[in-house]
Amino acid sequence: MTMKKQGFNPYLPSWEYIPDAEPYVFNGRVYIYGSHDRFNGYVYCMNDYVCWSAPVDDLTDWRYEGVIYKKTDDPLNPDGSMCLYAPDVTVGPDGRYYLYYVLDKVSVVSVAVCDTPAGRYEFYGYVHYPDGTRLGEREGDQHQFDPGVLTEGDKTYLYTGFCPRGDKSRKGPMATVLGPDMLTVVEEPVFIAPSEPYSKGSGYEGHEFFEASSIRKRGDTYYFIYSSVVFHELCYATSKHPTKDFVYGGVIVSNSDLHIDTYKPAEKPMFYGGNNHGSIVEINGQWYIFYHRHTNGTNFSRQACMEPIKFLEDGSIPQVEMTSCGPNGGPLRGYGEYPAYLACNLYCKEESLYTDWTASWMNNQFPKITQDGKDGDEEIGYIANMKDSATAGFKYFDCRGVKRVRIKARGYCSGRFEVKTSWNGPALGSIPVESSNIWKEYSADIAIPDGVHALYFTYTGSGSAHFGSFTLE
């Protein structure tokens, strides 16, 4: 009997780097529209837009749809010197698919169009006022950034904004209403939430808008999803109206698992966080939050993840944990081999809430998820820099009768990997490792209690190990 594939985080291949993912269901498939980082990239979003999709009833079966739009397709960017930042897609009143995006060095919203969800999009135009002036270029216009779009009838609601902490020139995220041509402003921008300097008494304090506008509707309620000024979290606000009365709701997910107190102290970071961007979508009756995590010790190689969420009766969304099994619909099987890049927790005794901008210290001091080869090479990811105290955590597994654990490791190291079922729990056993130039398998008799558990692997010893995979037997 062949076993059904399981769903993992990240849900795309380990060699694919798609941050800022906006998920949509079209014609029985889930489509992912995001920006496109480069492995070993030195700035954000260096590659062209690609699309991935999966059937709604199998979130393990992702298909590469290819390049849907090149950075040089925009008339403002013939030499490709500007990067394509986070996009969003909506279906216009004519049934075509419209891709909204910004280039990284200009403050205007570009639009491309396609007859199908994942075909080659063609440049269509720039969002503009009735007199032809482009939105973002009229005197007094705020910076246009990270467009989120929602079409209802002949109107498209466009949400934009970029508001760093302390910048009084930026008032908050904006909602602009476009007409049926998908380009012309019919209702001018209005602020729907405060930026940090203007948040006193608003209910947004501590979680003010930074970037990553996204909009969804559930029943008669609009959910505005955004990244806050603390970077690592995706928050939401709700309203019964698309352009006013948004009330702060809370945090949906943090890519360092901050604020979560179910398995560790609330303010203990369990992954190296950074900026965040994503949205919510209903797939086959289950709602999910899509977000990204940072790899390679930098800000510039981000991977797409997803977690199931629930709505309480009042419409609120409790914060969810980062897991290794988000798309799976439950815990992973407690036997077989699992690659180390599935780690949803990664840390060492020296804490850091954020991934470093320059990567200069991350590269040497902290464990990191990475890969061999160059960008585009289909090389399975692993964890590098497993120095003394470095810990990789995986959640969750339904364990039954596990008596032995194997690991694959390489590198200049001499020590052991301790296996635990909680980050601060006792070691159930340890697996000795030694220096090796190639991946080598090591094992030990380690009994894991029956039931649903997290698994934590902590390296103790000298040198630095690469952690490739583990096997439960």
Tokens for 36? Answer: 């496109």
DSSP letters spanning 413-448: EEEEEEEESSTTS--SEEEEE--EEEEEEEEEEEEE
C-alpha 341: how far from its chain's center? 15
- Sign for the CA dihedral angle at 366, 369, 374, 380 comes to positive
- Of the candidates 320, 275, 312, 318, the one whose C-alpha atom is nearest the C-alpha of residue 294 is 275
Burial class (CB within 10 angstroms; exposed 0-12, middle 13-18, buried 19+) of 17: buried
In this structure, the dihedral spanned by the alpha carbons of residues 281, 282, 288 and 289, taken in order and rounded to 10 degrees, is 10
Distances (CA, A) of 34 to 109, 267, 332: 16, 29, 27
Whether the link from the prior residue into 396 is cis, omega within 30° of 0, is: yes
3-class DSSP state of 283 = strand
Tokens for 72? Answer: 């040089």
In the block, residue with structure tokens 């291949």: 13
In this structure, the dihedral spanned by the alpha carbons of residues 175, 180, 185 and 186, taken in order and rounded to 10 degrees, is -90
- Of the candidates 432, 404, 402, 428, the one whose C-alpha atom is nearest the C-alpha of residue 417 is 432
Q: Are 263 and 454 in contact (CB under 8 A)?
A: yes
Q: What are phi and psi of 197, to 5 degrees?
A: -65, -15
| Other beta carbons within 10 Å of 56 | 17
Q: Which residues are catalytic?
A: 20, 211
Q: Are 344 and 332 in contact (CB under 8 A)?
A: no
